[in-house]
Amino acid sequence: MIDTSEVLITHEQIQEMLDRLAAELNRDYAGRPLVVVGILTGAFIFCSDLVRRLEMPVIVDFMQVSSYVGEISTGNLKIKKDMSYDIAGKDVLIVEDIIDTGRTLALLKEQLLKRGPASLKICTAFDKPDRRVTELVPDYNGITIPDKFIVGYGLDLDGEYRNYDDIRVVKQE
């Protein structure tokens, strides 16, 4: 049985985080076009909420990558859907839901840099640095969280619980 009753981050705290991140991005990219690459499926809600707060010209594209089965990272990157926009010479922002071990994002960053963007930065809603096994550090960090498996606000456990408007801790009973 799975228990998701413990709220770790409230809806209000998520809204405050979005406002802060958008202010940082609006300052750093003022007047410059930005290609936002949302990582499906977990980041779709975060990406949507974030881009609506951005003031510069924005092109939105998506990629779907995976390295997890349930709660376990496999360490292998699978690109299930590639972006359709050419990022060569563009300022690019990868928008991710959560950084855990960092393996998936480090591999993705390496692949995207080969496509020749003018700049490539990472924005994550949630960061779990205690689990990191790579040197990856997000350029824009929403909220640092403890080493707990979380769901809600787009994050899932085997496809479920994405619809919560807050972040909850998964407890196995």
In tens, the pLDDT along 58-106 reads 999 999 987 666 656 666 778 899 999 999 999 999 999 999 888 889 9
**Residue of 49, 100, 127, 156 with catalytic role:** 100
Q: What is the pTM of this model?
A: 0.92
Beta-carbon count within 10 A of 100 CB: 23
Q: Is 97 a catalytic residue?
A: no
State residue 68's pLDDT score.
64
Write down the pLDDT at residue 35. 98
Distance CA 166, CA 150 (A): 10
**Would you say residue 131 has pLDDT above 90?**
no
For the residues 35-54, what does the mean pLDDT come to? 97
Q: Which CATH number fits domain 2-172: 2.160.10.10, 3.40.50.1370, 3.40.50.2020, 1.10.10.10?
A: 3.40.50.2020
Residue 77 pLDDT:
75
pLDDT of residue 23: 98
Q: To 5 degrees, how large is the angle CA 33–CA 62–CA 11?
A: 90
Domain boundaries, the chain: 2-172
